[in-house]
Amino acid sequence: MTRLPPPARAIGLFLLLAGCAAPPPPAPPPRAAGLAGTVVAVRPVAPGARRIVLGALGVDTAPSAAPAAEYIVRLADGSVVSVVEPGPPTLRRGARVRVLRHPARLVPASR
């Protein structure tokens, strides 16, 4: 019987053991998009306020007289975020929402 060199034995042992490995676990079920939270406050935003804030951050924006609403949302992990959306307020305090990012916006949570 011929003996295999040590590297060949190591490769053979690896291949033998690799065949005994358990298959990977199944993928987790897909999560709903966004972070779950509850609206804790809603307030109107002055027409020029958004432009002032974005201008201070170096973002060039066109002036807008359109109304906007700021929503303060407490996320499931306890953190608090603020999301400004164009238009009059459409959500009320206590509404369950999902916070989507890029761009930040709110959608009502599905039940």
Domain ranges of the chain: 35-108
- At residue 43, φ and ψ (nearest 5 deg) are -145, 145
Residue 1's alpha-carbon distances to 4, 48, 90, in angstroms, are 10, 88, 82
Of 66, 109, 67, nearest in space to 91 by CA: 109
Residue 61 carries which DSSP code? -
Note the pLDDT tens digit of each residue in 20-61.
666 777 765 555 577 899 999 999 887 666 666 666 666 656
0.85 exceeded by pTM: no
Task: Supply 87's token pair.
Answer: 């238009």
Label residue 8 by pLDDT band (50, 70, 90): confident
Q: Is 71 helix (H, G, I), strand (E, B) or coil?
A: strand
